Amino acid sequence: MKRRHFLAASGGATASFIAAPAIAQSMPEIRWRLTSGFPKSLDTLYGGADVLAKFVSESTDGRFQIQPFAAGEIVGTFQALDAISNATVEMGHSSSYYYVGKDPTFAFASAAPFTMNARQQNAWMYHGGGLDLYNQFYAKHNVFMLPGGATGAQMGGWFRREIKTLDDLKGLKFRIAGLAGQVMAKLGVVPQQIPGADIYPALERGTIDAAEWVGPYDDEKLGFQRVAPFYYYPGFWEGPGMVQFFFNQQKWNELPKQYRAILQAAAGYVTVDMVAKYDALNPAALRRLVAAGAQLRPFSPEIMDASFTAANELYDEISATNPDFKRVYEHMRAFRNDEYLWFQVAEYSFDNYMIRARARR
C-alpha cells in the first residue's frame, strides 16, 4: 500500500498540496461523469461526491471536472457497477455491498454483520492490506476502488411493530441490504432490497414491515418515523458503513499521475469528512426524532446472539465455495479480532467511563 493513498485521511491535507499553477500549465482538460448510488436529498452520502468534485476542481485549477449525478439520473443504484465497468460513466460513488448479487465478496468493503467499526475499517483499508486486497478483486470487474466515506455504526431500523423475540422476526418483510439480508433470512425474515428513495412509500403502504437505512440524520430526512414508530439499535450489520469511489480501470490508468494522486487525496478527505459530519449531526437528529414520537428499542440479547451465530454460519458456507470471499473474509476477521483486543483495553474503557460520567457534568 503506497503512502499517498492516505494523504488526506489524516485530516490535515488540503487541495493546495499540489501547486495548481503548475498543473494548469501542463495537465490536460478532463471531464468525467460520476453516478451516485444515492438521492440528492441525502446531503451526507450523496454530498461525498460533491465534496470530491470540488476538491479535484480546485486542485487542478478547474482542468479536471467531475459532474456527479444522483441515482437514477444515468443509471439506477444497483446498475452503477456495470456502468462503470463498461465505461458508460468514468466513475461512481456507492456502497460495495449493493453488488453481493454478483459476488458476496463485495460486502466486506462496505459492511457486513459483526465486522468492524468505522475507525477499524479505515485501519484495515489503509494500513492493514484491505485496500490492496480489494483492488485485486475489483480488477476482475474492470474497476479500481478507493474508500469514499463512512457513516459509522448505524441504527437497526424502523419497525411498524415491536420486535421482542426471534418469533417476531418470522415472516417480517424487512428492507435490508447486502449479506445482512441473507443472515436475517436464516432467522425467518423476508429480506427486501429497495433503493433509499423508494423505502418510505413501501413502508407507508405496508409493502414492507420494517426498513433499515443509516441513522438519525438521514432517517429523519426520509421521514420514516411517520410510518414506523419503533426505532431499533444497533445496526449490527453496519459497524463501519463505508462507501466507495469506483473508477473504470482503463480510465483510471489513463489519468496523469498527478490527477490520480489528487483523486486519492480527495477520496481520503471525503472518508474523514463524512464520518465527522455524521458524528456531528446525529445527536441532535436523534433528539428530534424521539421528541416527534420515535420509540427507541434495543435488539434483545436473544436476537443479537442468534444473528451472530447465523452470520458466522453464512460466512463459513460461502467460504466453502468462493475462494475470493474466503480470502477476504479470513483476512478481515484476523484484523478485526486484533483490533477489538486493542479497543477493549483503551477505547472501550474510556468510552464506557465517559458514557456513565457525562450526566455528572
**pLDDT tens sequence across 119-156:** 999 999 999 999 999 999 999 999 999 999 999 999 99
pLDDT of residue 193: 83
Question: How does pLDDT run across 71-117, given as a tens digit for each residue?
Answer: 999 999 999 999 999 999 999 999 999 999 999 999 999 999 999 99
% pLDDT > 90, the chain? 88
How many C-beta atoms lie closer than 10 Å to residue 66's C-beta?
23
pLDDT tens across 160-173, in order? 999 999 999 999 99
List, in order of start, the domains of the chain with CATH numbers: 3-10+17-151+239-279 (3.40.190.170)
Contact 266, 144 (CB under 8 A): no
Q: What whole-number distance in Å separates Cα of residue 234 and Cα of residue 304?
A: 9
Digit-coded pLDDT (tens) for 327-344: 999 999 999 999 999 999
Mean pLDDT of the chain: 93
pLDDT exceeds cutoff 80 at 216: yes
Q: Which residues contact 143 (CB under 8 A, 6 or more apart)?
A: 81, 84, 85, 246, 247, 248, 249
Res 23: pLDDT: 53
Q: What is the pLDDT of residues 290-338, one digit of tens each?
A: 999 999 999 999 999 999 999 999 999 999 999 999 999 999 999 999 9
In this predicted structure, what is the pLDDT of residue 12? 46
At 195 the pLDDT is 79
C-alpha torsion 107→108→110→113, nearest 10:
80
Against a cut of 0.85, is the pTM above it? yes
Nearest CA to 53 among 92, 7, 24, 85?
Answer: 92
Least Cα distance to 316 among 326, 308, 324, 307 occurs for 326
Task: Note whether 328 and 137 are within 8 A (CB).
Answer: yes
Residue 285: phi, psi to the nearest 5? Answer: -65, -40
Helix/strand/coil (H/E/C) assignment for every residue in the chain: CCHHHHCCCCCCCCHHHCCHHHHHHHCCCEEEEEEECCCCCCCCCCHHHHHHHHHHHHHCCCCEEEEEECCCCCCCHHHHHHHHHCCCCCEEEECHHHHCCCCHHHHHHHCCCCCCCHHHHHHHHHHCCHHHHHHHHHHHHCEEEEEEEECCCECCEEECCCCCCHHHHCCCEEECCCHHHHHHHCCCCEEECCCHHHHHHHHHHCCCCEECCCCHHHHHHHCHHHCCCEEEECECCCCCCEEEEEEEHHHHHHCCHHHHHHHHHHHHHHHHHHHHHHHHHHHHHHHHHHHCCCEEEECCHHHHHHHHHHHHHHHHHHHCCCHHHHHHHHHHHHHHHHHHHHHHHCHHHHHHHHHHHHHHC
Q: Name the residue among 297, 165, 310 with its Cα closest to residue 234.
A: 297
Strand partners, 31: 65
> Which grid coordinates are listed for 164?
421482542
Percent of the chain scoring above 70 in pLDDT: 93
Q: With a cut of 60, say whether residue 15 has pLDDT above it.
A: no
CA atoms within 13 A on the CB side of 343: 15
Which residues, listed in sequence order, are joined to residue 235 by a DSSP beta bridge?
Answer: 154
User: Residues near 65 by Cβ (< 8 Å), separated by ≥ 6?
Assistant: 29, 30, 31, 32, 53, 56, 57
Residue closest to 269 by CA, chosen among 88, 17, 95: 17
**19 pLDDT more than 70:** no
User: Distance between CA 163 and CA 129 in Å, rounded?
Assistant: 39
Beta bridge partners of 157: 232
* pLDDT-derived band at 10, boundaries 50, 70, 90: very low
Q: How confident is the model at residue 197 (pLDDT cuts 50, 70, 90)?
A: confident
What pLDDT score was predicted for residue 25? 64
Query: How many CB atoms are located within 10 Å of the residue 190 CB?
Result: 16
Q: pLDDT per residue over 31-76, tens digit each?
A: 999 999 998 988 999 999 999 999 999 999 999 999 999 999 999 9
Give residues with Cβ within 8 angstroms of 2, minimum separation 6.
none
